[in-house]
Every structure is written in structure tokens, then in C-alpha cells.
Amino acid sequence: MAEYEAIIGMEVHAQIITRSKMFCGCSADYAGAPPNTHVCPVCLGMPGVLPVINRKAVEQTVRTGLALNCEIASTAVFARKNYHYPDLPKGYQISQYELPLCRNGWLEIELPDGQKRRIRIRRAHLEEDTGKLTHVGEHSLIDFNRAGVPLLEIVTEPDIRSAEEAYAYVTRLRQILRYLGVSTGDMEKGAMRCEVNVSVRPVGSTELGTKVEIKNLNSFRSVRLSLEYEIRRQIAALERGEAVKQVTMGWDEERGRTVLQRSKESAEDYRYFPEPDLPPLELSEEWVDELRRALPELPAARRDRFMSLYGLARKEADLLTEERAVADFFEAAVQEYAGEPRAIANWIMGELFRLLNTAGLEITEMKVTPSGLAELQTLVDRSTINLNTAKQVLDIMFRTGRSPATIVESEGLAQVSDQGELAAIVARVIEEHPEEVARYRGGKTNVLGWLMGQVMRATRGKANPRIARRLLQEALDRE
């Protein structure tokens, strides 16, 4: 069998977080609202109304373009994309065609084996979302709350070579959109949607194969699985001597296969023309520079800095920078803490992630503060509490938001480091367990661990383990 390679291009649509819609004053925050309550004559496409451009949406698109290393247009033009569909009341969508806001950029992806590749970005432009259709039996219901919400479209060159690379691309892109605060990137809620086009060709060939589009991919998983499936399907067809047809497919999650949606005899003709109701957008160089200077540190750069500055391993730095809010929390706690940053990292990656997971909360929603966490580890460093007690204290901090010092004080959790007090407990444990003590003295030194457990139990876990172990050892060896 010949060797084949896949040629993949990707289109991502992401809803931009703004207060109002793209061309009218309706609130864009329509989640959970009853159908058709976030609407006005503009987004309902009534005759005679005029659109007004949402400045914030333009700004967010330009910021995204800058983060994706794009050229930013000095003049961008909105265009009408004409087609008829029930979710599009005007009969056209206002989009951008020949003069998009951003073009010719790139995004660097990293594969699990550490290999890096650049995926070129052809363009990123601004448009409006459509309404939402729900099909119920023989009827279709239409909700226009989503109509006119600002939508960012990001299109790659066909530089992606495998399902794994597509997955790496879309996860990195979403992470950047979230870092920028441009989009929630929530695929389950439809705030981010993917389309791919894929063809295969024998390795070494310079001709492009016939490409197939797969639409409406609404999870990272479906991006990867649909591409894996489709690449296999196309190779099998070529091996049988069949031609791949130019079609649009969907992804059937349940059956794990791509399914035909429609054949594509010719390219759609949307009869684009410049939107006559909107002037061309002129972007000043100063404004774009201002936005560039104000960009946050992006995930890859922050990950590298965490490794060099805090001495973290790549995996740890990846985990801590996956979400901007987690990275911010870590750095704020490190600022308040005098010891090794790794101690703070361990708390976040271990106990805090566990507590957040169980409670189903985001790090920004919890009651533990960066300074609270720093204080907790400081209490451990000073031997005021031991590590096990610290976990209990964090639990209480998480539930109540109280400071660790007050919790230790009010719950009487301070570690017992007092030699006299501990020696008395050790003596009692030895007296109560003559058999185990005899076995230890007979050479079974591993009984020490068990006896140590008794000491911890007698102090309800508060014994300073270092001191307690030394006292126990001394008492046993004394005979």
C-alpha cells in the first residue's frame, strides 16, 4: 500500500464576549433567556433599519489577530453574504470578504512528543451569528436571540497534516481566545464551532486530492475522531481505485462515522458585495499598537517563563498555565510566599484541583485566596501544623473562606512539638503495646511505623512527626 498524507484546513467560529450584539443595542448575553426576547428591528432584519458597528467586537478581533501574528488591515470592509435560510431574517449575513480585519498570521502548535509546527492563519474576520432553529416533529421553531451576536471566524491555510495536529491546533486556539478574554470557547454551548476540510494524497505528490468538508464539529473529541475516520475512509477509497467525491459531511458521534449531508457540485455563490449601510472601517496604527502593547502574556510564553523562573517541569508548567486564572492565582500566591514556589504549585495541582473538581467550581469562584494558600504553606514551614493537618485546614478554608491561622487557632489544630508532652505520649504507647515493642526489639524494625501510627492517633494527627519519630526511636532503643 502506498503511503498517504492528509491535507487539512480548519475554520473556527467563536462568539465574541461583548455586552451588545454586533450591529444593534440588544444584549448579547442571552443564555437562558426565553426565545426571541433579545431582539430588535435591526437584528430581526426589518426593512429600513441601519446597523451600527460594535467597537468592542472590532477591538477583540484585532487583539486576536495580533495574538495570531496576523497583519492588521488599515482599512477593513464589511460585506453582504447573500443566501436564504430561515435563521437569517435579512436574507444575507454581514461578514467580511475581500478586506478582512486580519490576515497572514500563524499559530505554533505543540504535539505530545514535543515537536512544534507552525500553522499559517489565512484570515480572521468579524461577522454576525445567525438565529437558532429547533426542529420539533413536523415543525421548526426559530429563536433570534443569537441572531447578530458578534462572531469571529478564523481560517487556516491547509497546513494541518493529521487528526492529532488538528486537535493540537484547536485546543491551543481556544486557550488563546480564553486568555485574551475574547470568547468563552465553550464548545458544548455552541460558543465555538469547528469545520474542517480534508483530502489525502500519496506522499510525494504535489497535486491536491478532492477535499471533503466536515461541518458542525462541537467538541475537541469530534474534531479528532471525525478526521481519523475520514482520512481512513478516503485512503480506502483511493486504494480501491475509486474517486473521492467533493461532499459535505457531518459527524455521527454515536456510530463513530462521517455521514453525507449534501453533495457539492459547484462552489456556492454568495454574491458578496460591500455592505452599503456601513462605511469602511479605518484602523489607526496608534490604536492597533496600543492594543498590541496591552496584550496579555500568551500561554506558550507563560509556560516557558514558569519553567525558567520557578523551576517547574514542563508538565507542571503546562497544568498551571492551561487557564489564565490558575496561572494568575499561582503567581499571586508565590508573591506572598517566601519559600520554594514548587510548594505552592503542589497545593494547586493536588488538593486545590481535587476540591475544585469535586465542587464543580472554577478557581475564580472559590473562597481560598492566594494569600490564604501562601499563609497555609508558611504554617507548615514553621512546623505550626504538619502536612496532614494542613490538608484538613485547606478543606475548611475552601468551605468557609476563613484564614488558616484562625482555623488552626479555633479548632486547636496546632502541631504538638512540645518534647515533654510528646515523650509522655510515646511512653504511654510503649506501655500499651508490649508485644509490638518486644517484636521491634527482637529485630522487626518495621514495627516502628505501626507504633508511630499509634502516636499520631493519640495526638489526633497533630504530633510533629519528626520529633515524635525521634522520641519513639530513642525510647525503643533505650530498653
Which residues lie near Zn ion (CB under 5 A)? 24, 26, 40, 42-43
Task: Tell me the CA end-to-end span of the chain in Å, nearest whole number.
Answer: 78
Cβ 39 to Zn ion shortest distance, Å = 6
d(CA 329, CA 332): 5
Q: Cα angle vertex 231, ends 225, 237, to 5°? A: 135
Cβ atoms of residues 161 and 8 within 8 Å: yes
Q: Cα angle vertex 86, ends 84, 90, to 5°? A: 60
Cβ 231 to Zn ion shortest distance, Å = 42
Task: Spell out the residues 6+ positions from residue 188 whose beta carbon is closer than 8 angstroms to its own.
Answer: 218, 219
Helix (H) or strand (E) run with residue 134 in it:
strand 132-136
Comparison of 40 and 332: residue with beta carbon closer to Zn ion: 40
Comparison of 56 and 233: residue with beta carbon closer to Zn ion: 56
Cβ 398 to Zn ion shortest distance, Å = 42
Residue with cell 477583540: 60
Task: Spell out the residues 6+ positions from residue 442 whose beta carbon is closer than 8 angstroms to its own.
Answer: none
Cβ 41 to Zn ion shortest distance, Å = 7
Cβ 382 to Zn ion shortest distance, Å = 59
Cβ 143 to Zn ion shortest distance, Å = 13
Cβ atoms of residues 176 and 122 within 8 Å: no
Cβ 408 to Zn ion shortest distance, Å = 55
Residue ranges with strand state E in 51-115: 71-72, 75-76, 78-82, 92-96, 102-110
Comparison of 43 and 176: residue with beta carbon closer to Zn ion: 43
